[in-house]
Amino acid sequence: MNTSTVHNNEVLLVNLDNEPIGKMDKYKAHEHPAQLHRASSVWLINKKGQVLLQERSAKKIVGAGWWANAICGNLRPTEIYSECASRRLREEIGILEDEVKIEPVYKFIYRAYCNEKYGEYEFDQVYVGSYDGKIIFNENEVKRILWVDFDELVNQINLKTSIVSPDQTLLMSLKELQQNTKPCEIEFDQEKLLLTPWTCMMLRDLRLSKALKNLI
């Protein structure tokens, strides 16, 4: 295996102050108990007030078959947040850096249980962008995409009383995470979708809503 392949399979570990403390194989970093690492999440909204959701590929080690925002990706050890966001926009849904301008909104830390082997523990930078162009998704990363009305999405999420805050997850045991960070069910066009817990947490944050509304 060449060194570039090894590097691409590593994530950047940080402490609770978001200071780099090392690197680790991405599979090992997600094994219970997951290690805190940096990630970027991007939300895209179009002129109709719809946000892009993607159904995560069955090949994903976390959140396979669940739905999430436009992209979520782990930083490689040599990357900064914006570089990771641009790379994953290109790799997952075929959007080049010069096709969309993304703006950072806020950072948050959360933990989540995903399956018997893997979980999430991320220091996540949230970005927003306005986009009305083509989506050419990578089938190794994404199974399907869907544009949904943002207000309706938020309304459905606000009815879910079981969604915990990111801060609450930091104090939970693995068993508590399993019980309290399940994906939440929403419905669009008579189809039921399971949203990743981290997507649900972001939708509860007013900073995201405000930032996306400003782009319409």
User: Is 152 assigned a catalytic role?
Assistant: no
pLDDT digits (tens, 9 = 90+) for 110-139: 999 999 999 999 999 999 999 999 999 999
Phi, psi of 73 (to 5 degrees): -150, 150
pLDDT tens-digit profile of 52-102?
A: 999 999 999 999 999 999 999 999 999 999 999 999 999 999 999 999 999
pLDDT computed for residue 7 by the predictor: 60
Domain that holds residue 110: 3-213
| Stretch 2-29: mean pLDDT | 86
For the question of residue 122 being annotated catalytic, the response is: yes
* Domain containing residue 17: CATH number: 3.90.79.10
Residues 126 and 210: beta-carbon distance below 8 Å: no
pLDDT tier, 8 (very low <50, low <70, confident <90, very high otherwise): confident
Name the active-site residue from 10, 55, 72, 120.
72
Q: Which tokens belong to 189?
A: 């066009």
The residue annotated as part of the active site, out of 79, 92, 122, 200, is 122
Give the HSE-up count for residue 143: Cα atoms under 13 Å, Cβ half-sphere. Answer: 13
- Total of domains in the chain: 1
The gap from C-alpha 36 to its chain's centroid, in whole angstroms, comes to: 15
